[in-house]
Amino acid sequence: MSVKNLIFLVLLLFIPVSLAAHYLEWGELVVFITAGLAILPLAAWMGTATEEIAVVVGPSLGGLLNATFGNATELIIALVALNAGFVNVVKASITGSIIGNLLLVMGLSMLLGGLRHKEQTFQPIVARVNASAMNLAVIAILLPTAMQITSTGIGEQTIQNFSVAVAIVLILVYALTLLFSMKTHSYLYDVGMVEVEEEEISHKKPNLWLWSGVLLVCTLFVALESEMLVDSLEVATSQLGLTALFTGVIIVPIVGNAAEHATAVTVAMKDKMDLSLSVAVGSSMQIALFVAPVLVIAGWVLGQPMDLNFQPFELVAVAVSVLIANSISSDGKSNWLEGTLLLAAYTVLGIAFYFHPIIEGIG
Amino acid sequence: MSVKNLIFLVLLLFIPVSLAAHYLEWGELVVFITAGLAILPLAAWMGTATEEIAVVVGPSLGGLLNATFGNATELIIALVALNAGFVNVVKASITGSIIGNLLLVMGLSMLLGGLRHKEQTFQPIVARVNASAMNLAVIAILLPTAMQITSTGIGEQTIQNFSVAVAIVLILVYALTLLFSMKTHSYLYDVGMVEVEEEEISHKKPNLWLWSGVLLVCTLFVALESEMLVDSLEVATSQLGLTALFTGVIIVPIVGNAAEHATAVTVAMKDKMDLSLSVAVGSSMQIALFVAPVLVIAGWVLGQPMDLNFQPFELVAVAVSVLIANSISSDGKSNWLEGTLLLAAYTVLGIAFYFHPIIEGIG
Amino acid sequence: MSVKNLIFLVLLLFIPVSLAAHYLEWGELVVFITAGLAILPLAAWMGTATEEIAVVVGPSLGGLLNATFGNATELIIALVALNAGFVNVVKASITGSIIGNLLLVMGLSMLLGGLRHKEQTFQPIVARVNASAMNLAVIAILLPTAMQITSTGIGEQTIQNFSVAVAIVLILVYALTLLFSMKTHSYLYDVGMVEVEEEEISHKKPNLWLWSGVLLVCTLFVALESEMLVDSLEVATSQLGLTALFTGVIIVPIVGNAAEHATAVTVAMKDKMDLSLSVAVGSSMQIALFVAPVLVIAGWVLGQPMDLNFQPFELVAVAVSVLIANSISSDGKSNWLEGTLLLAAYTVLGIAFYFHPIIEGIG
């Protein structure tokens, strides 16, 4: 058994612990921390289950599955938070996920990979297509904020309508991206896919029913733990002296994306930088093209005022992250210093969000 | 006769129709639409005439002619609108032309070209020089806006003076760009020129007097139709429920640039992406380095308060367009998805301008 | 004796002249100009002395010396100005140095180099690492300003604390950059170093005591002249009709960086563009990663309210400079037009700072 699996098994113990903390009322802070830890192995197993099922159902349907459930943990946490009315935390977690993938995940991958290997190279073809799609998506989800900032007396309803329109365009673009990567230009992605399979999936034919069951059970438990995480969030974070903005931008995305983080760093240390960057950039792209638009539409369905009007400083932070990530990844080479630069950028932004005065509340 | 020419002949019928609509008072909306349609074939013929004359007078003077009359239609519409006092529409049409060339024209070219050819490549040398000049020019024309936004209590006269100073620098840069492309480094541009000639120009020696006459007549008719277009603009667009900003940013540039749009898309479908991008980026560059500065100086001469102080959201839109276009074109390859991404960006910006509340009027 | 050295000897005469002007009270303007001119040769000799000492003490310690004293003149002027309470001038000189290196120095190098050599190429490896570090650093020092702009009612103390935190991160990053360039990846920098040595340093073993003495004496004189420059700054610039912002952004950096400017342009004309860009980008990087953070910490020690909260338009100007410099240098080629574009950008920004209304005073 690998060290990774061992850690996951231990973390699984936090499921009963978090339930006990919740029902025996050990305090919101304990619930918050244990629920957060319990989500980590569940998210990892959801990922494995999705990939095993993808192998059985074939590349087309499997690709669709992967594309839809790739950020499932995050989507579930966000939906639970949205339903509880924590609109600002949900918005912050969207920008936080983008920043986290581009700076923290890519930075750790380049740093730890670079400490083992003097210089690492990656083929920028797939990364470029993803990067362009991501640039577009990131810009699109920030446009309502830009509109709000650059005009006076714009109505909330206008921002809401514009956000829904943007969301629909982005979901269409996402569908076209899938068509591109799975049908018309799938050959561009073949190398990466083979690596994923070698890396992650056993060579026996997986059992469809077994893994569907695992996926279902894990999803239910993630939903349950997310419920406890979100319920305890307000009290726990204020006990820790953290603002809603900091919690949404830094804490929630780390919990929601931990599994991808682990994958990206692990493969980077094995000198598979293509795959590692693909995970980081692909995940950012999925957040911006799929998760964020789904949340806007879900907010409309749930009657929550969920739009794409972020804090102006979130806009600055995302723009900065995209610029630095593009600047560092565009030459197809990486080393430990470039990883450090990304992590330094993440640290500085983290400090900024820590110092940023609370303007609005959690909801 | 090609399909293109047939369409142009049919569109030519809108010249008498628009005149009838104007003098028989069929309503502003009919005048606006028919005058707009009548301009399309005239603009195309002006382009052809300019190129034929350029062949006769030789490369140096011909290049200068092309560079000066390349955006003549747009310049004429803008001058007529400026003279009528529609300063905000003129400003909006400048940003709209840049956005339209970078997103709509480049996007349509990459999409339609990419549907025929799996992957298209282009030599980025000329594109790069143009892109750098365009980046500079775009930034320069946005600086007065940035100055206005980032300071309090700046006087109108200061912005006006700064705009004129920027305009003079830009026209000097434009002259140096022509010197570069026609004298000191003309060899870089040779490939593209040959293609233009093969593409657009018949192989017989053109008749200078014939084409000069065509150019003169078309220019007069464009001016006439622009007059009717501008006169009917205010009433017609408000009947259509459109704001001055939307009309200036989206409608006017489509009418003014239609001929270049058609050229860029046609050659892209013939897999001549170098030429296609050259038209799109070159046209943006010409707008920013030549048309905009000329309009500022014309405004000063005409006594109209024409400066380079745009709506802040226009600044955002142009910056976004430049970033996305650079991101997509920098690898020297294109496919249908990249075209779709550019069109999606244009769509989202179009929606934004549609929703954007009117702050100032048409003038 | 080279022309350069002759010019320096003549400029040396301004040391006694400036002292006379100061003590015989010939007027603030005379003191300001003569002190500024006197600093130029002193800065050049400090540079030479540092490099000679670096040869004696060996590459590791020598690299550290170069890295620390590379912008010594600028640091001394800034410290003197900071001590005199001219906080806004000091801040403006930081942004001005970055802009000046990226646009003025790089632009002059590409223009003058390009007039002699049709097309110049440079290896972008070292430049890229520096550019990424510089991008990060520039963004980091601008974040407090972005935070201030994007929020309402943020306290001065918060900005101050955040600035100190950013400064500490940047100094750590600077130390890691040195570790990278001198230890773990020194082979990347070998070519450049050899060129520097051939270019700048005589082949005899330099005398450590002699050059240490030169360094000490020059440093003392620079400090003395800076004192006079700063004392006369307020009156002299207002006599010239210049604002504190313009003086800080344009005048002070030209005086402080003149020696590097001369080096970068000279080697560009010898077609050593790698070295030339290395000086320009490296100097910007050093300002952002070392000089600016040191000044923040010095301000804290001296009890001056020195933070990283710049004028919003300075943020725009720096962002614009970084974008244009990246756009022009990213293809590894340059020509006279690209140099002209950089200089045009510098000119336009200079005009903007000239027109920019004074918001705050000199301190």
Residues A210, A53: Cα–Cα separation, whole Å: 9
Chain C residues with CB-CB distance to B173 below 8 A: 340-341, 344
- The 10s digit of each residue's pLDDT in A115-130 is 999 888 887 655 666 7
Nearest to A312 among C150, C153, C176 (CB): C150
- Closest by Cα among C44, C94, C136 to C291: C94
Residues C142, C144: Cα–Cα separation, whole Å: 6
- Residue C252 within a domain: yes
Residues 6+ apart with CB under 8 A from C298: C79, C82, C306
Residues A46, A226: Cα–Cα separation, whole Å: 15
Q: What pLDDT, on the 0 to 100 scale, is given for residue B15?
A: 93
Chain C interface includes B153 (CB < 8 A):
yes
Chain B residues with CB-CB distance to A168 below 8 A: none
Strand C120-121, strand A120-121: pairing:
unpaired
Chain B residues with CB-CB distance to C346 below 8 A: none
- Residue A48 burial by Cβ neighbours in a 10 Å radius (0-12, 13-18, 19+): buried
- Residue A363 within a domain: no
- Residue A343 within a domain: yes
Chain B interface includes C322 (CB < 8 A):
no
Residues 6+ apart with CB under 8 A from C240: C29
Q: What pLDDT, on the 0 to 100 scale, is given for residue B71?
A: 83
- Residue A9 burial by Cβ neighbours in a 10 Å radius (0-12, 13-18, 19+): exposed
- Residue B360 within a domain: no
Q: Which residues of chain B have pLDDT under 50?
A: 192-195, 197, 201
Chain C residues with CB-CB distance to A347 below 8 A: 169
Residues B333, B123: Cα–Cα separation, whole Å: 9
Residues B146, B315: Cα–Cα separation, whole Å: 8
- Residue A360 within a domain: no
Q: What pLDDT, on the 0 to 100 scale, is given for residue A137?
A: 83
- The 10s digit of each residue's pLDDT in B76-113 is 999 999 999 999 999 999 999 999 999 999 999 999 99
Chain B interface includes C121 (CB < 8 A):
no
Residues A320, C188: Cα–Cα separation, whole Å: 27
Report the largest interatomic distance among the alpha carbons of chain C, rounded to a whole angstrom.
61
Chain B residues with CB-CB distance to A177 below 8 A: 337
Q: Is A27 left (phi over 0), alpha (psi -120 to 50) or beta?
A: left
From the candidates B147, B166, B315, which should be mutated to test the interface with C, based on the most C CB atoms within 10 A? Answer: B147
Asked if ipTM goes beyond 0.90, one says no
Residue C227 C-alpha, separation from nearest chain B C-alpha, in angstroms: 31
Chains in contact with B, where contact requires at least 3 CB pairs less than 8 Å apart:
A, C
- Helix ranges, chain C (H): 3-12, 14-23, 28-57, 59-69, 72-83, 87-99, 106-116, 124-149, 156-179, 190-200, 208-239, 244-246, 252-269, 273-286, 292-302, 312-329, 336-355
Sign of CA dihedral B238, B241, B246, B250: negative
Report whether A53 contacts A62 (CB < 8 A): yes
- Helix ranges, chain A (H): 3-12, 14-23, 28-57, 59-69, 72-83, 87-99, 106-116, 124-149, 156-179, 190-200, 208-239, 244-246, 252-269, 273-286, 292-302, 312-329, 336-355
Provide the number of CB pairs (under 8 Å) joining chain B to chain C: 86
Q: Could you tell me the pTM of the whole model? A: 0.87
Take residue B143 and report the two structure tokens written for it: 């600086």
Chain A residues with CB-CB distance to B311 below 8 A: 150
- Helix ranges, B240-334 (H): 244-246, 252-269, 273-286, 292-302, 312-329
Q: What pLDDT, on the 0 to 100 scale, is given for residue C329?
A: 81
Contact call for C180 and A359, based on CB within 8 A: no
Contact call for A132 and B324, based on CB within 8 A: yes
Residue A340 C-alpha, separation from nearest chain C C-alpha, in angstroms: 8
Q: What are phi and psi of B333, to 5 degrees?
A: -135, 150
Chain A interface includes C135 (CB < 8 A):
yes
Chain A residues with CB-CB distance to B335 below 8 A: 180, 185
Contact call for B136 and C341, based on CB within 8 A: yes
Q: What pLDDT, on the 0 to 100 scale, is given for residue B34?
A: 94
Chains in contact with C, where contact requires at least 3 CB pairs less than 8 Å apart:
A, B
Q: What pLDDT, on the 0 to 100 scale, is given for residue B127?
A: 62
Contact call for A341 and C146, based on CB within 8 A: no
Q: What pLDDT, on the 0 to 100 scale, is given for residue A127?
A: 62
Chain A residues with CB-CB distance to B347 below 8 A: 169
Residue B339 C-alpha, separation from nearest chain A C-alpha, in angstroms: 11
Nearest to C357 among B129, B151, B173 (CB): B151
Provide the number of CB pairs (under 8 Å) joining chain A to chain B: 86
Contact call for A143 and B316, based on CB within 8 A: yes
Contact call for C351 and B166, based on CB within 8 A: yes
Q: Provide the domain count of chain B.
A: 1
Report whether C152 contacts A358 (CB < 8 A): no
Nearest to C352 among B162, B170, B326 (CB): B162
Contact call for A162 and B351, based on CB within 8 A: yes
Contact call for B355 and A169, based on CB within 8 A: no
Residues 6+ apart with CB under 8 A from B138: B98, B284, B288, B318, B319, B322
- Residue A362 within a domain: no
Chain A interface includes C160 (CB < 8 A):
no
10-residue block means of pLDDT along chain A (363 residues)? 78 92 93 92 86 80 76 90 92 93 93 91 68 82 86 82 93 90 75 49 73 92 93 91 88 83 87 84 87 94 90 88 84 88 94 78 57
Chain A residues with CB-CB distance to C175 below 8 A: none
Contact call for A313 and C136, based on CB within 8 A: no
From the candidates A173, A176, A318, A320, which should be mutated to test the interface with B, based on the most B CB atoms within 10 A? Answer: A173
From the candidates B117, B149, B337, which should be mutated to test the interface with A, based on the most A CB atoms within 10 A? Answer: B337
Q: What pLDDT, on the 0 to 100 scale, is given for residue C29?
A: 93
Nearest to C162 among A311, A347, A352 (CB): A352
- Residue A161 within a domain: yes
Residue A341 C-alpha, separation from nearest chain C C-alpha, in angstroms: 7
- Closest by Cα among B155, B129, B157, B118 to B305: B157
Chain C interface includes B319 (CB < 8 A):
no
Take residue B205 and report the two structure tokens written for it: 């020696």
Q: What are phi and psi of B106, to 5 degrees?
A: -65, -40
Q: Which residue type occupies C6? A: L
Residues B106, A74: Cα–Cα separation, whole Å: 35
Q: What pLDDT, on the 0 to 100 scale, is given for residue C266?
A: 87
- Residue B81 within a domain: yes
Length of chain B: 363
Q: Which residues of chain C have pLDDT under 50?
A: 192-195, 197, 201
Residue B328 C-alpha, separation from nearest chain A C-alpha, in angstroms: 6
What domain range includes position A289? 3-355
Residue A133 C-alpha, separation from nearest chain B C-alpha, in angstroms: 7
Chain C residues with CB-CB distance to B140 below 8 A: 344-345, 348
Residues A264, A281: Cα–Cα separation, whole Å: 10
Take residue A54 and report the two structure tokens written for it: 């993808």
Residues C192, A115: Cα–Cα separation, whole Å: 25
From the candidates B336, B355, B356, which should be mutated to test the interface with A, based on the most A CB atoms within 10 A? Answer: B355
Report whether C68 contacts C56 (CB < 8 A): no
Residue C339 C-alpha, separation from nearest chain B C-alpha, in angstroms: 11
From the candidates B115, B149, B327, which should be mutated to test the interface with A, based on the most A CB atoms within 10 A? Answer: B327
Contact call for B337 and A161, based on CB within 8 A: no
Residues 298-317 of C with CB under 8 A from B: 311-313, 315-316
Residues 6+ apart with CB under 8 A from B144: B159, B162, B163, B166, B307, B308, B309, C352
Take residue A1 and report the two structure tokens written for it: 């058994």
CA C266 from centre of chain:
17
Chain B interface includes C209 (CB < 8 A):
no
Residues A126, A277: Cα–Cα separation, whole Å: 10
Residues C247, C245: Cα–Cα separation, whole Å: 5
Residues 6+ apart with CB under 8 A from A186: A59
Which residue bears the tokens 């800065």? C43
Chain A interface includes B360 (CB < 8 A):
no
Element (H, E) at B34: helix B28-57
Chain B interface includes A254 (CB < 8 A):
no
Report whether A315 contacts A145 (CB < 8 A): yes
Contact call for B340 and A151, based on CB within 8 A: no
Nearest to C132 among A311, A320, A338 (CB): A338
